[in-house]
Structure 1
């Protein structure tokens, strides 16, 4: 088995199996804009929810004063 065969098998797996849903969405692009961008909308929604959750967690730790704010990264910034 050569390296070329390994890379061709990875290419075949990626194009024929893993990217099949995206190929189906690409064929719908001219027919329905909303269906073509469905994956983008879902990823944006997941990112928005994760951002809101993370900001809530940071607020919770800030309200509890659990963060050690005594040290600085450089000595010239103060104590």
Structure 2
């Protein structure tokens, strides 16, 4: 069973973190933090999309209760 967890550890450390290891060696603050800016932008877009959908759902609920 421990081999399974060591396999997961090996996957993350030696395969999936390769791009982040490359970012660590960059000495420019802007280039090394571009991934954070991308994630923040995606988060804001998803948040505003979610709020728009919640507004549409809320308006449909008001119509349902008012017509009954």
Give the TM-score band, short-chain normalised: 0.7 to 0.9
* TM-aligned CA deviation for residue 5 of structure 1: 4.2
> TM-score, normalization: structure 1?
0.66
Write out aligned runs for 1:1-79 (5 A): 3-28=1-26, 31-64=27-60, 65=62
Off by >6 Å, runs of 4+ in structure 1 = none
Greater gyration radius: 1
Q: Which has the higher contact order (CA 8 A, sep 6+)?
A: 2
What runs of 5+ residues in structure 1 fail to find an aligned partner? 69-79
> TM-score, normalization: structure 2?
0.75
Greater fraction of residues in helix: 2
Q: CA RMSD in A?
A: 2.0
Instruction: Give the number of equivalent residue pairs.
Output: 64
What's the counterpart of residue 76 of structure 1? none
